[in-house]
Structure 1
Amino acid sequence: MHRRRRTVLVLSAAIAAAAPLLTACGSQAHPGAAAVVGGQRITVEQLESRVNEVRAAQRAAMKDEAQYEQAIARTGGLTRDTLHGMVLDKVLDRAAKDAGVTVTRKDTQQMRTALEQQAGGAKALEAAWLQNYGVAPARLDDSLRTEIEAQKLAAALGANMNTTEGKATFWKALSTASRQLHVDLNPRYGAWDVQKSSRVDAKTPWLREITAAQTQQPA
């Protein structure tokens, strides 16, 4: 599924390839909030609920306690990575709205059907997304919608994600949206980097995997 991942995960690729100059923001305290985006709170309770969904799915997928412990070890940064995704979804939504981009339920279903065929069925796709990206089965459609939105945004911007210039164009749109939304993370979860639309300490394995896949495979 590497070729499909390279195609659909343009958002992650753009983040991984963003410029190295950092401008961090988001240090104000917001009691009970994991982050504030566009004046809207992502509460600690909401974040923990998302994380618990993934942990419950991992436990259900593992045959024994040892496998479950291994899964936890592989996803030790799950809480921060989950918050990163929740914030980035809102940033992407803003950038897409500014560009006049919309995603329909039909778009999501078509992508899911195609991926299920490649993976060998719905359960296989859900298992792959859980293992590789920490996405609980109940959130799979949301995850696919995000990737479609990123694809459409890149197309609307005329950004070829296989080129440095295209990635820079895409990243600039996310950076602009991030500044407009005044993203503010609770310090316990890191800091938000306006220039990269990413957490300063966000160096997750799946980002490296996608970057490697882009490098190894032709367009």
Structure 2
Amino acid sequence: MHRRRRTALLLSAAIAAAPLLTACGNDAHPGAAAVVGGQRITVSQLESRVNEVRAAQRAAVNDEAQYAQAIADTGTLSRDTLHNMVLDRVLHRAAQDAGVTVSRKEVQEMRAGLEEQVGGPKALRTAWLQQYSIAPERLDENLRLQLEAQKLAAKLGTDTSQPAFWNALSKASEKLNVDLNPRYGTWDVERSSRVDQQAPWVRDVTTAQAQQPA
């Protein structure tokens, strides 16, 4: 797989790799979906991002059945979108710490290369929407994220699949003191990834049901 294509899998791979953990959360930041480096990502900001994706999905299909299927296929959109918003800030901090920068020209060059690979601008927008739930207006923003990841890995002498890369993100996560609203799960500092919070009562009820005699 082409290296630029492979780095585009960073976000989805991080989500898929996250284990189910329990951790502490609090409501110390009302109205915030997350606090990263003392800066709030508000619930309204998150909802706005989600609405961008939903609007793009609606515009991309021809009937209600297709739209309903698109929604069903992205049932965790709010949580995954928040993951991406937090990871963006974590990665940007790790890149800053390593002296890595990405120019607008580099983003444009990457976009042009990807458009050539997939068959044009519309095809690229469609691919990013379907595969990564990235709204068209956020495409350049996402490509900047991918370039930062690629350049950070190169600076570290590794690639985005190796521990050295994720260790850098882990250090950035710790510095930024990422705090998620418990309704969206928790942030695993070691993996720099959002994880779902499993409520004890869910586990207890499930166990009790499994132990009932047939």
Q: TM-score, normalised by structure 1?
A: 0.82
Q: What are the superposed Cα offsets for residues 68-111 of structure 1, whole Å, 9 maximum, x if unpaired? A: 00000000000000000000000001000000000000110000
What residue number does 2:72 align with?
Answer: 73
Report the CA distance shift for 1:64/1:41 in structure 2 as closer, same or farther (over 3 A). same
What residue number does 2:156 align with?
Answer: 157
Report the CA distance shift for 1:147/1:176 in structure 2 as closer, same or farther (over 3 A). same
What residue number does 2:171 align with?
Answer: 176
Q: 2: distance between equivalents of 1:113 and 1:39?
A: 36
The 8 Å contact of residues 14 and 161 in structure 1, kept in 2 or not, is answered as: no
Q: 2: distance between equivalents of 1:127 and 1:14?
A: 19
Aligned residue type for 1:169: A
Give the superposed CA RMSD: 2.4
Does 2:191 align with 1:196? Answer: yes
Does 2:181 align with 1:186? Answer: yes
Report the CA distance shift for 1:19/1:171 in structure 2 as closer, same or farther (over 3 A). farther
Report the CA distance shift for 1:173/1:131 in structure 2 as closer, same or farther (over 3 A). same
Report the CA distance shift for 1:60/1:13 in structure 2 as closer, same or farther (over 3 A). closer
Aligned-residue offset at 1:3: 3.8
What residue number does 1:207 align with?
Answer: none
Q: 2: distance between equivalents of 1:13 and 1:61?
A: 21
Q: 1: distance between equivalents of 2:37 and 2:109?
A: 31
In structure 1, stretches of 5+ residues that fail to align are 203-219
What residue number does 1:8 align with?
Answer: 7
Q: What is the total number of aligned residue pairs between the two structures?
A: 197
Report the CA distance shift for 1:154/1:128 in structure 2 as closer, same or farther (over 3 A). same
Q: What are the superposed Cα offsets for residues 138-196 of structure 1, whole Å, 9 maximum, x if unpaired? A: 0000011100000000011111346xxxx100010000000000000000001111111
What residue number does 2:119 align with?
Answer: 120
The 8 Å contact of residues 38 and 183 in structure 1, kept in 2 or not, is answered as: yes
What residue number does 1:205 align with?
Answer: none
Report the CA distance shift for 1:198/1:85 in structure 2 as closer, same or farther (over 3 A). same
The 8 Å contact of residues 23 and 194 in structure 1, kept in 2 or not, is answered as: no
Alignment of 1:1-219 (within 5 A): 3=2, 6-9=5-8, 11-12=10-11, 15=14, 24=23, 26-161=25-160, 167-201=162-196
In structure 2, stretches of 5+ residues that fail to align are 198-214
Q: 2: distance between equivalents of 1:155 and 1:76?
A: 34
The 8 Å contact of residues 23 and 193 in structure 1, kept in 2 or not, is answered as: no
Q: TM-score, normalised by structure 2?
A: 0.84
Q: 2: distance between equivalents of 1:21 and 1:51?
A: 23
Taking only the aligned residue pairs, the percentage that are identical comes to 70
User: Which protein has the larger Cα radius of gyration, Structure 1 or Structure 2?
Assistant: 2
**What SS does structure 1 have at the residue aligned with 2:40?**
strand
Q: 2: distance between equivalents of 1:72 and 1:96?
A: 34
Aligned-residue offset at 1:200: 1.7
| Structure with more relative contact order (C-alpha pairs < 8 Å, separation 6 or more) | 1
Q: 2: distance between equivalents of 1:155 and 1:23?
A: 33
Report the CA distance shift for 1:124/1:4 in structure 2 as closer, same or farther (over 3 A). farther
